[in-house]
Structure 1
Amino acid sequence: MQTLKISTLTICGIDELPGQRERGVSHVLSIVDPDWPELEAFQSYGVHDRTILQFHDIIDPAPDRVLPQQHHVTEILNFGSRLLQSAEDRVEGHLLVHCHMGVSRSTAAMLTLMAQASPDEAEDRLFERLRTIRPQAWPNSLMVGYADEQLGRKGRLVSELHRHYAVQLKRDAMFEELMTRIGRTRELEMGRSAA
């Protein structure tokens, strides 16, 4: 993401936020559940530009839950556009994207921002970079589908997401248990079909 003059990219969960305060964070994309209280950790951060999005980490409709929608991904892309437009005013920067655990919504958002900033970069390279930034990345498939469509990737991000899931399932058995527990077995099937 050098085109954004962002020298550091970080993905984390809420419990990791205090450990980032001394790292010169300049831009934050917060993705939290609706009605989540304001996060006190940011009060100790230096000056930064922060955008907050609120929806649940689900891929199917559920009662009293806010499903990620097209407009949420549009807001992520608008955030990325503002980063691009403000690049001339920065020498460098530190982009922090977080959700509750730093595994699903935040990794889907970072993938979206990287794909937006590097429209000619191959999808497999984008996912390799994502795993380098956050080894436990398991991007929300619904969000990646919306990003694929809005960025005109013609299904290539979604196809590579299936391969990414296969890599992650082979790397760590924790994903099988976690995704089963939270009702994301459809994503497990995506990974198995690509193995």
Structure 2
Amino acid sequence: MQNIAISVLTICGIDELAKHSSRSVTHVLSVLDPEWPELEAFQTFGAHHRTVLQFHDIIDARPGMVMPEPEHVAQILRFGSELAGSKAGRTEGHLLVHCHMGVSRSTAAMLTLLAQANPDEPEDGLFERLREIRPQAWPNSVMIGFADEALQRNGRLTSALGRHYAHQLKHDPRFVDWMTQLKRDRELAMAGA
């Protein structure tokens, strides 16, 4: 994120956190299910600023589950603004964004932060950068829709998301089975649009 003096960007899942504890992580954005317990992995990390968001990785309402909401994306954007504001106090930094698997919510959050920090970068370029950070990225479409609106990208992020999904399906057809099992057929349809 060139505009906020972050030199290292990492996306991972919960089971990968331990291997990042010695990597001088300065900022963490955790996106967890609401019922998930506090993660012990962060006790082994050095000093860092951490923000925790809690909602489920779903794209349609389900009983007993918390949908991603515009306020969640607003919190991600506030995190990004705070990160940008802290630039004067440091020369570099390491941002780690994680969710349960490091595939959907965390990649949507990172894409949102990239788009916020680089308002003039074309949307397809942002998704290319996201794939460089996390090759298996499949961002949550609801979150990207809210980010598109909040950042006034006028549908361009959502359109680029469809092209990103198509790219991912071409490079790893297993996404079809995974997203079908997760009841995310609407995202698969976006890849063909």
- The aligned runs of 1:63-142 (5 Å cut-off) are 63-142=63-142
Once residues 30 and 124 of structure 2 are traced to their aligned partners in structure 1, the CA distance between those partners, rounded to angstroms, is 26
Give the corresponding residue for 1:151.
151
- The aligned runs of 1:1-195 (5 Å cut-off) are 1-193=1-193
Residue segments in structure 1 that go unaligned for 5+ positions in a row = none
Q: Determine helix, strand or coil for the equivalent of 1:25.
A: coil
Supply the AA of the counterpart residue of 1:98: H
Describe the superposition over 1:67-92 as per-residue Cα deviations: whole angstroms up to 9, x where unpaired. 00000000000000000111000110
Q: Determine helix, strand or coil for the equivalent of 2:17.
A: helix
Supply the AA of the counterpart residue of 1:92: E
Supply the AA of the counterpart residue of 1:14: I
Which 4+ runs in 1 deviate beyond 4 A? none
Shift of 1:174: 1.5
Describe the superposition over 1:4-29 as per-residue Cα deviations: whole angstroms up to 9, x where unpaired. 11000000000000000011000000
Q: Determine helix, strand or coil for the equivalent of 2:47.
A: coil
Supply the AA of the counterpart residue of 1:68: P
Once residues 156 and 123 of structure 2 are traced to their aligned partners in structure 1, the CA distance between those partners, rounded to angstroms, is 7
For these two proteins, the number of residue pairs brought into alignment is 193
TM-score (norm 2): 0.99
Once residues 167 and 114 of structure 1 are traced to their aligned partners in structure 2, the CA distance between those partners, rounded to angstroms, is 19
Once residues 72 and 177 of structure 2 are traced to their aligned partners in structure 1, the CA distance between those partners, rounded to angstroms, is 28
Once residues 186 and 125 of structure 2 are traced to their aligned partners in structure 1, the CA distance between those partners, rounded to angstroms, is 24
Shift of 1:2: 1.8
Identity rate, percent: 66
Supply the AA of the counterpart residue of 2:15: D
Supply the AA of the counterpart residue of 1:162: G
Shift of 1:35: 1.9
TM-score (norm 1): 0.98
Supply the AA of the counterpart residue of 1:176: V
Describe the superposition over 1:67-123 as per-residue Cα deviations: whole angstroms up to 9, x where unpaired. 000000000000000001110001100000000000000000000000000000000
Residue segments in structure 2 that go unaligned for 5+ positions in a row = none
Supply the AA of the counterpart residue of 2:136: Q
Supply the AA of the counterpart residue of 2:65: R
Q: Superposition RMSD on alpha carbons, in Å?
A: 0.5
Q: Determine helix, strand or coil for the equivalent of 2:186.
A: helix
